[in-house]
């Protein structure tokens, strides 16, 4: 045995002796084994800084719940849109259907996947690209640009027009069988191409496969409405909107949002992504004719500036983050000062890497999308605490919302979506410039779920 390469008996004895020599280690062990790591690392003084006083507070309706699904990006997008409807018509609460975009996202992602299969027929099955494409062809996750593509093509509908189903509230089984079917489709297409099938025949096969996908989705989610009736009453029970609408007509009338005005800003301080440049991610998207995503990479201070500007104009802000970092979930607090794991353990864990290093080494990516609906400002106008609308139901956190410290924003917020009018002239020009294409597996291609 090479003792320099193996864990030896002496190593174990030394580690045990070193651990037991410190009283703090014994206290930490007893606390963590009894209460759990995060509860033992909770810092009450840090928690106390997350009081519920905000200078801007955009009150939403009843809290929504994505249940056992990865639809946070849809919920966040729809929550920014429903706020417009509630404000326009004076509604106490309102909810748009999350099942409706789920249906078309699965359909469009299936087509996107099969198009990628046809585009990579010459790639080896054992190569990294095919392994990536086959890993999760129609997962629940997504990003703002993908949601924008869905709404542009299919519109939106009230929740009553396409309510939740067992398969929308818990997508695991539906995703499992749809994924299996699509992988079998990939096999058939590659085998047919290898046998000499022409492009026209392969495309005809793909259309038949998509018909099967539609069949599966209707079985699981129900038939999407083509037209529906609407009768909205305001807080005083006055009828404020009535009529029959297509989904596209309802979006135009009720939401009245210029989709192309809203752009994605990211903050990724890695060496391969200079700030002030636009980026896209190869093979990331859902609606084939709309193409892929586009970002502008800026410093965190700029993301905060434009988010505050949009909040001041009484519009909430879609954002993406790594939600589980330094997070007291039961209390709805995201704050680097509210948890001190490093002192509990006696060595650097959370403090062992900076933001760029966490991205480069796979420790942190965007995992969740939510909505900024408020902010507390200091005397100099700088943000101190953000109020966040989550999509985990009214029983989560603080009546369904979280708080996010400004220091946490710096470390774990990766994306915001705002009206491009808040950007400087130079920033708009950079956003519209030819984007740098990132690899499909780049951290900025991770989907919020």
Cα 346 from Cα 24, distance rounded (Å): 8
Q: Active site residue: 72, 167, 185, 321, which one?
A: 72
The bridge status of strand 413-419 relative to strand 368-377 is unpaired
Cα 152 from Cα 259, distance rounded (Å): 8
Q: Which residues of 204-224 are buried (b: 16+ CB within 10 A; e: fewer)?
A: ebbeebbeebeebbeebbbeb
Q: Active site residue: 79, 286, 297, 390, which one?
A: 390
Q: Which two tokens stand for residue 233?
A: 């009453």
Is residue 72 part of the annotated active site? The answer reads yes
Is residue 396 part of the annotated active site? The answer reads no
Which positions ≥6 away from 34 have C-beta within 8 Å? 40
Please name the residue that has the structure tokens 């106008």: 381
Cα 222 from Cα 105, distance rounded (Å): 14
User: Residue 285: helix, strand or coil by DSSP?
Assistant: coil
User: Cβ distance 333 to 47 under 8 Å?
Assistant: yes
Cα 190 from Cα 297, distance rounded (Å): 37
Cα 273 from Cα 427, distance rounded (Å): 15
Q: Which helix (H) or strand (E) holds 71?
A: none
Q: Which two tokens stand for residue 348?
A: 């650097």
User: Cβ distance 48 to 286 under 8 Å?
Assistant: no
Cα 81 from Cα 314, distance rounded (Å): 12
Which positions ≥6 away from 48 have C-beta within 8 Å? none
Burial of 171 (0-12, 13-18, 19+ CB in 10 A): buried
Is residue 197 part of the annotated active site? The answer reads no
Q: Active site residue: 111, 116, 167, 368, which one?
A: 368
Q: Which residues are catalytic, by number?
A: 72, 368, 390
């Amino acid at each position: 045995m090479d003792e320099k390469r193996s864990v030896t008996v002496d190593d174990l004895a030394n580690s045990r002796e070193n651990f037991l020599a410190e009283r703090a280690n014994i206290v930490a062990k007893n606390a963590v084994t009894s209460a759990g790591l995060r509860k033992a690392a909770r810092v009450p003084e840090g928690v106390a800084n997350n009081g519920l006083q905000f200078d801007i507070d955009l009150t939403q309706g009843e809290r929504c719940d994505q249940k056992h699904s990865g639809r946070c990006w849809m919920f966040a997008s729809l929550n920014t849109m429903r706020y417009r409807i509630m404000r326009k018509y004076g509604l106490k609460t309102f909810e748009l259907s999350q099942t409706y975009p789920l249906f078309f996202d699965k359909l469009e992602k299936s087509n996107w996947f099969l198009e990628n299969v046809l585009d990579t027929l010459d790639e080896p099955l054992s190569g990294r690209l095919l392994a990536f494409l086959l890993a999760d062809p129609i997962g629940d996750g997504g990003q703002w640009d993908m949601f924008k593509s869905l709404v542009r093509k299919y519109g939106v509908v009230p929740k009553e027009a396409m309510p939740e189903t067992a398969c929308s509230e818990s997508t695991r089984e539906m995703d499992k069988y749809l994924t299996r079917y699509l992988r079998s489709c990939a096999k058939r297409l590659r085998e047919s191409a290898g046998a000499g099938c022409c492009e026209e025949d392969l495309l005809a096969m793909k259309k038949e496969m998509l018909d099967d996908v539609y069949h599966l989705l209707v079985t699981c989610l129900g038939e999407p409405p083509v037209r529906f009736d609407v009768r909205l009453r305001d807080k005083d029970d006055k009828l404020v909107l009535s009529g029959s609408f297509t989904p596209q007509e309802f979006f135009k009338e009720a939401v009245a949002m210029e989709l192309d005005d809203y752009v994605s800003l990211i903050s990724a301080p890695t060496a391969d992504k200079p700030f002030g440049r636009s980026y896209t991610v190869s093979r990331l998207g859902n609606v084939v004719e709309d193409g892929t995503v586009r970002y502008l990479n800026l410093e965190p201070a700029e993301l905060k500036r434009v988010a505050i500007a949009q909040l001041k104009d009484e519009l909430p802000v879609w954002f993406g983050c790594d939600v589980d970092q330094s997070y007291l979930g039961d209390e709805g607090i995201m704050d680097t000062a509210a948890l001190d794991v490093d002192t509990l353990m006696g060595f650097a864990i959370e403090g062992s890497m900076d933001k760029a290093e966490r991205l480069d080494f796979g420790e942190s990516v965007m995992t969740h999308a939510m909505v900024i609906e408020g902010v507390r400002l200091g005397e100099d106008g700088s943000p101190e605490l953000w109020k966040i609308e989550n999509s985990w139901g009214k029983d989560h956190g603080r009546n369904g919302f979280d708080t996010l410290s400004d220091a946490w924003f710096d470390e774990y917020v990766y994306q915001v979506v705002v009206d491009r009018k808040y950007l400087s002239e130079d920033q708009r020009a950079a956003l519209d410039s030819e984007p740098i294409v990132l690899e499909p597996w780049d951290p900025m291609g991770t989907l919020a779920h």
